[in-house]
Amino acid sequence: MEEEQGDKALERKVGEAMRRPFIASISGKGGVGKTTLTALLLKVLLENEVDDVILVVDADPATNLPEALGIKIDKTIGDVVEEFRSKMLEFSEQGVDKPSILSYWVLRDCFVELERFDFIAMGRGEGEGCYCYVNSILTGVLTRILKNYTVVLMDMEAGLEHLNRRVDRYVNTLIVVVDPSAMSLRTAERIIKVTKEVNINPEKFYVVGNRIPEDLEEKIANFVKSIGYEYAGTLPEDELVARYSIEGRPLLSLPSSSKAVKAAKEIAKNIGLID
């Protein structure tokens, strides 16, 4: 009996190793539920009690994910870039290596190390051209640190621009959230096209439906299959999610028995995040 358990544990470890690193971006049209899904996937991953080393990235300048997770951040990359700009003149007088100082500051000030996962938020800069710049700093930081993690979950900005900036260049699992609107399906269609145009090459393309009425599920699943995605499941409308969001309570403390968490668990299984 003990031996069987040992074999099973080994089998599980080998299975996990084969599916890691799991580097996912969660994207889609504005307001479809990207941040909610990111938080719920993290929740079910944390409940799964495997020894993954997890990084969570808020790659949306609006920076909504910390609140959804109930964590405090001191500075975003955008904040650090602004600070750096204000000191730029001083640095040029001293003849120092500016890019190295900036990466050092970002890692020192933006990186939040929590008990179960690490977190970093992109934020936004204020100046002209700052959007691009802050994106490129995030990408540079990810290039340096991704190798330290077995799971990376990235909550992306609405739309497609992040693909052009190639913030998701290391992603091997691309997840697009859709709601029951033609516009969200069109965004999913454009995401898969642009991904190919800019040479981002994930291994897996999934769509997750959010708040899709049951009678539309099959139709939407068939449509997304026809454009190159696997349909990973549906998050139901969950009154508790809405309540937690309005009350500013973290989605990580939702009860495991809630509709949305149960559905997220199924989705996490379907995309290979958990067994």
Ligand X SMILES: Nc1ncnc2c1ncn2[C@@H]1O[C@H](COP(=O)(O)OP(=O)(O)OP(=O)(O)O)[C@@H](O)[C@H]1O
Q: Which residues are near ligand X by CB under 6 A?
A: 30-36, 60, 62, 64, 158, 210-211, 235, 237-238, 241-242, 245, 260
Of 35-43, 50-58, 174-182, 225-233: span binding Mg ion (CB under 5 A): 35-43
State yes or no: residue 35 binds Mg ion (CB under 5 A): yes
Closest separation in Å from C-beta 260 to Mg ion: 15
36 versus 139: smaller Cβ distance to ligand X: 36
Residues from 55 through 94 that contact Mg ion (CB under 5 A): 64
27 versus 102: smaller Cβ distance to Mg ion: 27
98 versus 243: smaller Cβ distance to Mg ion: 243
Q: Which does 241 bind (CB under 5 to 8 A by kind): ligand X, Mg ion, none?
A: ligand X
27 φ, ψ to 5°?
-130, -175
- Residue 65 CA neighbour count, 13 Å, CB half: 29
State yes or no: residue 139 binds Mg ion (CB under 5 A): no
35 versus 210: smaller Cβ distance to Mg ion: 35
State yes or no: residue 36 binds Mg ion (CB under 5 A): no
State yes or no: residue 27 binds Mg ion (CB under 5 A): no
137 versus 235: smaller Cβ distance to ligand X: 235
The residue number whose beta carbon is nearest to Mg ion equals 35
129 CB neighbour count, 10 Å cutoff:
8
Closest separation in Å from C-beta 111 to ligand X: 22
Closest separation in Å from C-beta 39 to ligand X: 8
Partnered with residue 177 across adjacent β-strands are 28, 208
As a whole number of angstroms, the distance between CA 22 and CA 272 comes to 8
64 versus 270: smaller Cβ distance to Mg ion: 64
31 versus 127: smaller Cβ distance to Mg ion: 31
Closest separation in Å from C-beta 228 to Mg ion: 24
- Residue 218 CA neighbour count, 13 Å, CB half: 1
State yes or no: residue 234 binds Mg ion (CB under 5 A): no
Closest separation in Å from C-beta 122 to ligand X: 13
Residues near Mg ion (CB under 5 A) are 34-35, 64
